Structures are given as C-alpha cells and as structure tokens.
Amino acid sequence: MVAGGVQGELPALTEEGQIILASPTQLAMSPNGNGGVYEALHKSGALENMRQHSVEAVDCYSVDNALVRPGSPSFVGHCWHRNTDCGARVVAKAYPEERVGVFAQRDGRIEVVEYSELDPHEAAATDPSTEQLKYNWSNVCMHYFSREFLERAAAFLSSGKGCYHAAKKSISSKDGPVQGVKLEAFIFDTFSIARQVTLMEVHRHEEFAPVKNAPGSAKDSPNTARAAVLALHKRWHEQSANASTSKKIGPEISPLLSYAGEGLHSCLDP
C-alpha cells in the first residue's frame, strides 16, 4: 500500500522578522521542514491507517542517501527488541566541519544539534579519553519510530510546543529575490520527548553516501555517491567470489538481487 500526504508551509520572513509578500495579496510561503512529517501523517490519516492495519513501527530515511538500506533487519529488530520510541543509525563524523547534525545529551535526554547551530570550536573539540570528536555521532536521517511515538509527537507539535530553526535563504518576493529566513522544523526535534532513544553505529562506507552538492563537487555529490555505491558493490562481488577483481569499480548490483551482498555466489562470475 502507498499513501501520500501534503507537507505544511510557513510564511517566509525578512531578516528583521517582517512577513515577505509573494504578491500584493499573497504571503511568501516555504515548506516547514522534514519535522512537518508528524503533523502531515496525522492530518492525512496515515497514522490512523497504521493503527487500523496494526502497523506498530516504521523505518524512515532521507531520499538523498545513495547507500541507505531501507528496513535494516538488525536496526529495526534491535529497536523493536528494546521497545524503543525512536532510534537512529549513526556514523562517525568524517571531519569536524562536516555538515551533519550531531547527537548530544541535554538534561539526561538525547537530542540532536544541527551543524549550523554548533559552535565551530565545539565542533572541533575532542574527547581526551577516546581521541575522537566530542560530538562525533552524526545524525544521517535513518530513523525508527514506534507508531505510538509518532502519535505522541504529532500531538506535541499540534499543541504549539515545538520549535523552528531559522534558515537564511534567497526568497522570491513581489519585488524579486530577497534575502530572508525560512522557518523549518526538523524530524529530530521530537527526540527530547522520547522515553527511550536507541542509537546504532553503522559503517559509513556501507550505509551513508549523501548527495548534497552539485555534480563535480569534491564532496557529497552525485559523483561521490555513485563511486561509493560501486565501491561497495565491488566488495560484495569480491566477497561472493572469494577473490579480488581487477575492475576498479562495480559492477552495480540490483537491490532486487541482493540486499547487503548476500546470495551472490550463484549469480556473479569471479
């Protein structure tokens, strides 16, 4: 079954906090961020549909990750076994300035600090006991949510208790493009109301290849994501054949053929 919903919108503002007009009679609006998914699931009837069909939990991921493994059995199974409200697969940061949110604790609760809101000195700070970054675990938008938590999060946000993050962007107005602020809610903003949060570390080269930048960019581009997919599939090929291959990349393996490199012995030539 496939169900759809409509993402909410919020008025765009000037940097001084004034409402921007798209036309003399129309407000300039912008999407309310991926944190709008909770209210969208509620308003669309998707949460009630889940309840009617006895769906107890969902796996959620971002569309711009070329290596994402939907419905990871180990991750979903672990979260289910722990009866967790929400979970996240995490990877170690590649470098201090990497544009990813990081997990932290505040008043004993696990939360995410967005990269744009983390002081650069804090982002580069290390933990002497581990020699790793102090804020090392990246939120890469691979989440598990119980249905009960989704319902509770939607009610929490509908009551006006949520928060918004200010993103400075170029916004179309009746006078042409202007610099302004878009208000966005993030999907991880509700982690603070979770009774239990589960984090599971995964390997970056197996599950995280983001596409954030234009083709040809040195990092997080379609080119680097494609290379990561082909490098992973080359390793699967070598493992299935129990031998190395002279090919520098590939071959690409269809997800219909193998989920994580298993079952390839009878399908691939060494």
3-state secondary structure of 153: helix
State residue 203's pLDDT score: 97
Confidence of residue 270 (pLDDT cuts 50, 70, 90): low
Contact in structure between 76 and 59 (CB atoms under 8 Å): yes
State residue 68's pLDDT score: 97
Assigned superfamily of 9-210: Spore Coat Polysaccharide Biosynthesis Protein SpsA; Chain A (3.90.550.10)
Give the model confidence (pLDDT) of 148-157 as tens digits.
999 999 999 9
Is pLDDT of 251 > 90? no
The mean per-residue pLDDT over the stretch 75-98 comes to 96
Q: What mean pLDDT is reported for the chain? A: 92
Whether pTM exceeds 0.75: yes
Contact in structure between 41 and 146 (CB atoms under 8 Å): no
Per-domain residue ranges for the chain?
Answer: 9-210, 212-270
Contact in structure between 206 and 157 (CB atoms under 8 Å): no
Strand (E) positions, the chain?
Answer: 9-11, 13-14, 21-23, 26-27, 29-31, 57-61, 86-92, 101-106, 109-113, 126-127, 132-133, 137-146, 165-173, 176-184, 197-201
State residue 160's pLDDT score: 86
Residue with tokens 């197996």: 206
Beta bridge partners of 26: 23
